Structure 1
Amino acid sequence: CVVVQAMEASYVELAEKLSGSGIKVAKFRADGEQKPFAQAELQLQSFPTILLFPGRTVKPIKYPSEKRDVQSLLAFVNSLR
């Protein structure tokens, strides 16, 4: 997906900035065999979708913006710490 490829560098940089913070940055391919799970359990309807899984809640929190730059992603994470 072109959108996923375009945000790859920001995602890698976000993971580097959060390294050692206790926050894990991961990717999950939600197409193919995983699509039914992604739709049913995570309520994913479009891709890419960015979710934060806080340790204190059961449900993930969806990233509310189309901005995919490092500063915006980091601000989202920090707002939920």
Structure 2
Amino acid sequence: MTVTTDMISEFVRAANRVETLAPADRRLLLEKGVSASGALRGLLVKTAKVAPVDDAAERVIPDIASNIEQMSDETV
């Protein structure tokens, strides 16, 4: 597997058991996803590929990560 597929597998596994994850683990996964998304988007831009961006999601994810303790499993 590649680093990307490993990461996606980790996210899918975490999503399937989100109710068992500690807030710190939830925050770490969100931060990891944001970082990976930015890196992948940078690669798309660098290689002149189209890189659609969902500005609304990008604005709300850091808020979710910083308030993870108050977020429902469904939101996370």
TM-score (norm 1): 0.27
Q: Which has the higher contact order (CA 8 A, sep 6+)?
A: 2
More helix, by proportion: 2
TM-score (norm 2): 0.27
